[in-house]
């Protein structure tokens, strides 16, 4: 009887694994078949261990659909960022002629967040570069021009989205801001996010990702997977400046951005 039950469990797990493989293949995930079926076999083999009590899989559990979706868990999260009534002008007034960190010593301009203050989509980078420092606008140099093309590729215009950085002053030689420098600017970025409440934030590169999400992993391991910031979907992907240095990463970035596009399309409210 136990062998029959084990056989039935194996078939149920194998069926569930096959369904998951089909789902993952639709997303373009390679190597899914080996990983999923291998997991099913391991689970059945584990049931032979004498110290672990055997429990047959119920038909209901076997037939349950895969819970993960392209956009992650779509159920309402328990924590949602509280809507702020602040205006950007009020936030910027608090920033003032900022001297909170040493970056102010070499700046030409403070570079504030720019774009549609009712945007559904926001992009966050790490800090201004030379062109941004001169023009007092984020992402206007070569990396910014590439970002504009990415935005247009998903059917939007630059003026449809919101674009900002963790830091508002240019670091020397375009180096990443230090954690101490970022900690001075981060509260103002969070206040802007609370005021706008975008549906999706795309964090560009390690600095932006780690400051918004407090993750320790690198962007290569996390990119392409929706994360959560107080109920807001966050998509980590490569910084456009990195794509200029390594164009082979453009394909991966495009896959990430398509997920953002598809999510926004799925939640778009019909026009009245």
When mean pLDDT is compared across 71-85, 86-100, 176-190, 230-244, the lowest value belongs to: 71-85
Q: List CB contacts of 203: < 8 A, sequence separation 6 or more.
A: 124, 209, 212, 213, 234, 235, 236, 237
More confident residue, 86 or 76: 86
State both tokens at 28: 């373009």
- Helix ranges restricted to H, the chain: 2-26, 32-46, 59-63, 88-95, 130-135, 142-153, 179-196, 206-213, 219-222, 240-245, 250-267
What per-residue confidence (pLDDT) applies to 147?
A: 98
pLDDT, position 193: 97
Structure tokens at 92: 């910027």
Domain boundaries in the chain? 2-63, 88-267
Q: Which residue has the higher pLDDT, 191 or 5?
A: 191
Q: Is the pLDDT of residue 233 over 90?
A: yes
State the architecture of 88-267 in CATH terms.
3-Layer(aba) Sandwich (3.40)
């Amino acid at each position: 009887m136990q062998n029959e039950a084990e056989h039935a469990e194996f078939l149920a797990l194998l069926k569930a694994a096959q369904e998951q493989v089909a789902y993952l293949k639709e997303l373009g995930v390679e190597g899914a078949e080996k990983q999923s079926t291998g997991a099913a076999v391991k689970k059945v083999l584990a049931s032979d261990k004498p110290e672990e009590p055997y429990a047959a899989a119920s038909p209901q559990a076997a037939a349950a659909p895969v819970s993960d979706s392209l956009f992650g868990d779509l159920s309402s999260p328990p924590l949602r960022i509280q809507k702020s009534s602040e205006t950007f002008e009020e936030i910027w007034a608090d920033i003032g002629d900022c001297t909170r960190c040493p970056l102010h010593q070499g700046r030409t301009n403070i570079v504030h967040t720019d774009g549609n203050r009712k945007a559904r989509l926001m992009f966050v980078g790490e800090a201004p570069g030379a062109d941004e420092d001169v023009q007092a606008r984020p992402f206007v140099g070569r990396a910014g021009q590439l970002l504009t093309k990415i935005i247009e590729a998903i059917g939007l215009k630059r003026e449809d989205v919101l674009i900002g950085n963790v830091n508002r002053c240019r670091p020397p030689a375009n180096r990443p801001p230090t954690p101490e420098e970022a900690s001075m600017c981060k509260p103002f970025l969070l206040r802007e996010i609370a005021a706008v409440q975008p549906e999706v934030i795309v964090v560009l590169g390690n600095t932006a990702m780690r400051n918004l999400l407090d993750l320790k992993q690198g962007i290569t391991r996390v990119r392409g997977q929706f994360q959560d910031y107080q109920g807001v979907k966050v998509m980590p992907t490569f910084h456009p400046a990195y794509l200029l240095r390594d164009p082979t990463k453009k394909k991966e970035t495009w896959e990430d951005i398509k997920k953002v596009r598809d999510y926004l399309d799925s939640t778009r409210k019909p026009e009245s």
